[in-house]
Chains A and B, each alone.
Chain A
Amino acid sequence: MGRYVIRRLLQMIPVFFGTTLLIFLMVNVMGDPIAGLCGDRQCDPATAAQLRTEFGLDKPVWQQYLTYMGNVFTGDFGTAFNGQEVTELMGTAFPITIRLTLVAIVFEIVIGISLGVVTGLRRGRPVDTAVLILTLIVISIPTFVTGLLLQLLLGVEWGVIKPSVSPEAPLNELLIPGLVVASVSLAYVTRLTRTSIAENSRADYVRTATAKGLPRRRVVIRHLLRNSLIPVVTFIGTDVGALMGGAIVTERIFNIHGVGYQLYQGILRQNSQTVVGFVTVLVLVFLAANLIVDLLYAVLDPRIRYA
C-alpha cells in the first residue's frame, strides 16, 4: 500500500509539469495581455513597457515558465493585474467553490445512490421507468437551462430563494446552485448505481447472504451496495475535479465568486498569472482525487489489494 502510494505520487510529477507547461503556453499564445488594460485606446508605450518588465513578459516564454515554477514552489503565485496576489484570490475563491462542490457531491451521493438502489432493486417496475425517464430528461437539458429556469422560478416568480448568492456564499444559499451543478452527474450516478445493483443482485454472494438468513436490509447495504459502488466511486472521484473547475456556467448564473469566476475573468483579461495559478491547483486537486478513488477501491472490494 505504502509503496503503491509513493509510486503514484512520483507519477504525478511529470503529469503536473506537463499540464502546467501546456496551460502556460496556451495562455501565452493568446497574445499581449498588457494591450487590453487600457480600454479602447492604446496604452502609453512607456507605461506598457514598464508593466511588461514588471510582470516578466519581456522575457522568452521558457524563461517565464521557469521563473514562474520557481516562484510557485516558494508559495508565490504572482500578482494579478489589479494588484491582488493570486494566492489572495485563491484564498477567497477556493473555499466558496469547495463548499459548492461539497453540496453537489452530497446531493449526488444521497439522491443519486438512493435512487439507484431503489430502481436497481425494482427493475422494470413503474418506479424504475419513471426514474429512468427523469434522468434522461435531466441529462439532455444543458446546465444553464436548468440554472436559469430554477433561478427565474424560485428566485423571481415564487421568491423562495434569492436569485444571486451573496459574496460570502453561506451553505444555505448554495443549495439550489449545488443542485444545478450536480444535476447531470446525479443522473449518471443514479444510472450507474442502478445497473451495477441490478447486475450484482443476481450474483452468487448475494444469494448466499440471503440464504444464510441475513435480513434483507443488511444484504443490500453490506453486501450488494458495497460491491456495486466501485464504478460510482470512480465517477464521483473524477467529478470532484470536474465540478471544481467546471462550474463556470453555474457560478455565472448565480453570481458565485468562486474558482469559475476567477478563471473566466482571468481568461477575459488574459491574466496569465491567475489562470495558470488556478489551473495548477485544479490539476493537483484532480490528481489527489484520482489517487483517493484508487485507494478507496481496496476499501470497497476486499479482492483488490495494492502491493
Chain B
Amino acid sequence: MRGATHVKWAACAAAVALAATACGGGDSGGGGGGADGIVSSSWGDPQNPLEPANTNEVQGGKVLDMIFRGLKRYDPKTGEALNMLAEKIETKDNQNFTVTVKDGWTFSNGEKITANSFVDAWNYGAVLKNNQKNAYFFGYIDGYDKVHPETGKASATKLSGLKVVDARTFTVKLSQKFSLWPDTLGYPAFAPLPKTFFTDHAAWLKKPIGNGPYTIDKYTKGSSMNLRKWDDYPGDDKAQNGGIDLKVYTDNNTAYTDLTAGNLDLVDDVPASQLKNVKSDLGDRYINTPAGIIQTLAFPFYDKNWNTQGAIKVRQGLSMAINRQQITDQIFQKTRTPASDWTSPVLGEEGGFKKGLCGKECTYNAAEAKKMIEDGGGIPGGQLKISYNGDTGSHKEWVDAVCNSINKVMGNNKACVGAPVGTFADFRSQVSQQKLHGAWRAGWQMDYPLIQNFLQPVYYTNASSNDGKWNNKQFDDLVDKANAESDKAKAVSTFQDAEKVMVQQMPVIPLWYQNGSAGYSENVTNVSLNQFSVPVYEQIKVK
C-alpha cells in the first residue's frame, strides 16, 4: 500500500533527524584537540603531487614542512638559515661548495640519510622528464642545461655539478658565483629522499615518507591527512603535540565558521570578509604577522609605448598617485603594509629590507604625481588597464581602489580601469604569452628569505619570472657583483644598490607587503606563522 509506505518514510526521517541531533550535539571527535593532543587544522587540496621539487604552493608546502628537514632550516622567528642536517657547507671561491651531512639522521622508515639521499633527490628534481615544477631551483648547479634544456631532449640524466665524495660528503659546483647559495638550501625542494621514493614511486605518493618531526598516518587525497608525532625524530625541533589533522575546506569561510563553533583548532587563512569580526570572535587568538610576499603592478616592456624615457616618468607618477596607506587600512584592515622597497620586512634590516628605500617615488603625492604623468607624455594609450584574475583572492576590490586613487589624481574618471580575467590560469597564460598591453597585478612570494630571491628571478634580464621583460644592464651588473661578493653585508648592500636603479626606472610599482593571518581555538597555545605564512606546527601546544 502506498499510504503505508508514506507514513513509514515520514517516521524514518524523523527518527534519523533525532539521531542526528543527538549525535551532532554531544560529539567530540571533530575538533577540540583533547585526546593525545591532536591539533585539527584547515587545509586546501594540494595542486600538484606531493613531491618536494614539485610543490610550489602553500598547501602542499605545509605538509612538506612537517615531514621533511633539509640541509638548512629557516628559523621560524628570524628567518635566518641555520644548519639542520648540514654539519658544514664550505667554499673558497663562492662557486664550489663541499657539503658534509650530519651523522645519526634517518628517514622515518629507518633508512640512513647519506650524501646520496641528497644527490639522488636533487638529480630527480632537476631532470626534465620528471616534470618537477621547482626544477629551476637546481638551475644554479653546473650541468643543469644538460638535464633540463630549454627545448629538445635532455642529454644527461645527472647534474654534472654534483659529486658524492663519501657517505656523508658531497661537492656542488655552481655554474656561476653565488655567495648566498647555501642559504637557499632551506627550501623544501632541496629535501633528501629515501630509496623507496625511486623504487616504489606510486606507493610513496600515496603515503609520503620523510625525515621531519611528523609522519603521515593516514592520507585521503582531496579530503584529509592525519600526521602523527614521530617519537624517534633525531632533531631538536621535536613536535610539542601528538599530531596534526589536516582537513580540506573548499571555502575558507566554512573553516572560519568551524573555528568559531569549536570544531577546528587552527585556521591559517582568515577570509577577508571576516577580518572585521575577528577581534570580537577570537580576541587575542588572532595573529597577523609579515609574510614574504610583496604585491606589485607590472608593466609590459615588450610594448614599445611603455619602454620609453617618458614612460619612466609616467610609472613614477602612477606610483605616487596610489594612496597605499588608505587602501591597506580600509580594504585590507591593516593585514597589508604599504611597500617602500621591493623586498619584504621578513628579511629584516640585515637581510636587506630597507624601509623607505624607494623614497618619494613610492609616497602618495597627488599634485606631483599628476605633473610627472603629464610631463612623461601621459598614460600610453590614454588609459591604464590593470588586469587581474577575478576568480580568487578578492583582487577586484583593491584594483578598483588603486584606479580610483589614480583617477582622482588625474581628475579623469577613465584614466584607469580594472580589467578582470575569468580564471587564474587564463590570467597567467595571458601574462606569459605577452598578450597584455596595460599594467597587471603581480606578486612575488619568496622561495627563501634572501634579498637575492626578491630581485634576481623577477627583474634580471630574461629571468624566469620577469614577465614584463624589463632589462637594464646596470641592474644586471649590480646583481652579478652582489652574487660574487663573499661578505654577506656587502652582498646585501650591493643588492640594495641594484634596487636603487629600480627607483630610477620603476619597472614595477611596489604596492604593499602582505601579512599572514591565522586564528586558533582556546585548546591550543604557542601558535605562530613563519615567513612563508605557514603555521609552525611542531611548536603548537595543546592544553
Report A's interface with B, CB cutoff 8 A: 30-47, 49-51, 54, 81-84, 88-89, 92, 106-107, 109-110, 113-114, 151-152, 155-156, 159-164, 166-167, 171-173, 175-176, 217, 221-222, 225-226, 251-255, 257, 261, 264-265, 267-270
Q: A43-B133, A81-B48 are in contact. Are A30 and B426 (CB under 8 A)?
A: yes
Query: Are B263 and A47 in contact, with the CB atoms below 8 A?
Result: no
Contact indicator A30/B422 (Cβ below 8 Å): yes
Interface residue? B380 (CB, 8 A): no
A31 touches B426 (CB 8 A): yes
Picked from A31, A50, A221, A257, the residue with its CB within 8 Å of the CB of B3 is A221
CB pair A106 B254 closer than 8 Å: no
CB pair B222 A257 closer than 8 Å? yes
Known: A42-B467, A107-B13, A162-B24. 9 other contacts (CB 8 A): A36-B426, A40-B428, A47-B128, A54-B131, A84-B221, A160-B21, A167-B220, A173-B20, A265-B45
Knowing A44-B464, A50-B129, A106-B9, the reply to whether A173 touches B45 (Cβ < 8 A) is no
Question: Given the known A-B contacts A159-B25, A173-B20, A269-B425, are A254 and B2 also in contact in the complex, defined by CB atoms under 8 Å?
Answer: no
Q: Which of A40, A151, A164, A253 has a CB less than 8 Å from the CB of B444?
A: A40
Contact of B222 with A38 in the complex, beta carbons under 8 Å = no
Which stretch, B101-109, B243-251, B530-538, touches the partner chain A?
B243-251
What's the minimum C-beta distance from A124 to chain B, rounded to whole angstroms?
Answer: 25
Contacts A/B (CB < 8 Å), 10 sampled = A31-B429, A35-B429, A36-B424, A47-B132, A47-B133, A106-B9, A109-B9, A164-B254, A175-B17, A255-B255
Neighbour of B443 across the interface among A40, A152, A162, A164, CB < 8 A: A40
Whether A47 contacts B131 in the complex (CB less than 8 A), given A36-B429, A221-B3, comes out as yes
B127 to chain A, nearest CB (A): 10
Among the listed B30, B128, B148, B424, which residue makes an inter-chain contact with A162, where contact means beta carbons less than 8 Å apart?
A: B30
Rounded to whole Å, the gap between the CB of A193 and the closest CB of chain B is: 13
**A84 x B261 contact (CB < 8 A):** no
CB contact under 8 A between A268 and B47, given known A39-B56, A156-B261, A175-B16: no
Are A45 and B48 in contact, with the CB atoms below 8 A? no
Out of A114, A156, A171, A265, which one reaches B6, CB within 8 Å?
A114
Closest B residue, CB atoms, query A93: B222
Contact A89 B222 (CB under 8 A): yes
B135 within 8 A of A: yes
By a CB distance below 8 angstroms, the chain B residues around A155 are: 257, 261
B149 at the A/B interface (Cβ < 8 Å)?
yes
* Contact (Cβ within 8 A) B135 A257: no
Nearest-CB residue, chain B, relative to A109: B9
A89, B19: Cα distance in complex, Å: 30
Tell me the minimal C-beta distance from A256 to chain B in angstroms: 8
Closest A residue to B457 by beta carbon equals A41
**Does B224 sit at the interface, judged by CB under 8 A?**
yes
Is B205 among interface residues, defined by CB-CB distance under 8 A? yes
Q: Does B325 contact A (CB under 8 A)?
A: no
CB B208 to nearest CB in A, in angstroms, measures 12
Chain B residues contacting A162 (CB-CB under 8 Å) are 24, 27, 30, 258, 261, 263
B467 CB contacts on chain A under 8 angstroms: 42
Contact of A82 among B1, B48, B428 (CB under 8 A): B48
**A267 contacts across to B, CB distance below 8 A:** 423
**Shortest Cβ distance from A83 into chain B, in angstroms?**
4
Residue of B nearest to A218 (CB): B3
**CB <8 Å contact, B251 and A252:** yes
What total count of A-B pairs have CB within 8 Å? 202
Is A36 touching B19 in the complex (CB atoms < 8 A)?
no
CB distance from A270 to the nearest CB of B (A): 4
Determine whether B95 belongs to the interface, using a CB cutoff of 8 Å to chain A.
no
Min CB distance A123 to B, Å, is 21
In contact, A175 and B135 (Cβ under 8 angstroms): no
Residue among A253, A254, A257, A264 with most chain B CB within 10 A? A257
Assuming the A-B contacts A107-B13, A163-B254, A261-B250, are A49 and B263 also in contact, with contact meaning beta carbons closer than 8 angstroms in the complex? Answer: no
User: Please, which residues of chain B bring their CB within 8 A of the CB of A269?
Assistant: 47, 425
**Alpha-carbon distance between A50 and B30 when the two chains are bound, in angstroms:** 42
A268 to B424, CA, bound (A): 7
The proximity string for B residues 437-477 relative to A, scoring 1 for CB distances below 8 Å and 0 otherwise, is 00000111100000000000100000011010000000000
A92 CA to B20 CA in the complex, in Å?
Answer: 23
Contact A172 B16 (CB under 8 A): yes
Any A CB within 8 A of the CB of B151: yes
B247 surroundings in chain A (CB, below 8 A):
167
Write out the residue numbers on chain B whose beta carbons fall within 8 Å of the beta carbon of A255.
248-251, 254-255, 258
- B contact residues around A167 at 8 Å (CB): 220, 223-224, 247-248
CB distance from B413 to the nearest CB of A (A): 30
The residues in B between 208 and 227 inclusive whose CB is less than 8 angstroms from any CB of A are: 220-224
A40-B442, A84-B221, A255-B254 are contacts. A221–B2 as well, Cβ < 8 Å? yes
Q: Give the Cβ gap from A203 to chain B, nearest Cβ, in Å.
A: 19
Is there an interface contact between A114 and B10, defined as CB atoms closer than 8 Å?
yes
Chain A residues whose C-beta falls within 8 Å of the C-beta of B423 in the assembled complex: 30-31, 36, 267-268, 270
A166 & B424 in contact (Cβ 8 Å cutoff) = no
Within the assembled complex, what's the spacing in Å between the Cα atoms of A81 and B222? 13
Kindly state whether residue B57 has any CB partner on chain A within 8 Å.
yes
Return the contact of A31 from the options B136, B220, B254, B425 (Cβ within 8 A): B425
Q: Is B236 an interface residue (CB 8 A)?
A: no
| A109: chain B residues within 8 A (beta carbon) | 9
Residue in chain B with minimal CB distance to A168: B223
Contact with A along B34-56 (1 / 0, CB 8 A): 00000000000111110000001
> CA A138 – CA B423 in complex, angstroms?
33
- Which of A36, A40, A51 gathers most chain B CB within 10 Å? A40
User: B98 near A: Cβ within 8 Å?
Assistant: no
Asked if B308 is an interface residue, CB under 8 A from chain A, the answer is no
* 0/1 interface trace, chain B 104-145, chain A, CB 8 Å (1 if under): 000000000000000000000000110111011000000000
Q: B151's closest neighbor in chain A, by CB?
A: A46
**B176 CB–A CB distance under 8 Å:** no
Closest chain-B Cβ to A133's Cβ sits at a distance in Å of 23
| 3 pairs of A and B residues whose beta carbons are closest in the complex | A36-B425, A35-B429, A167-B223
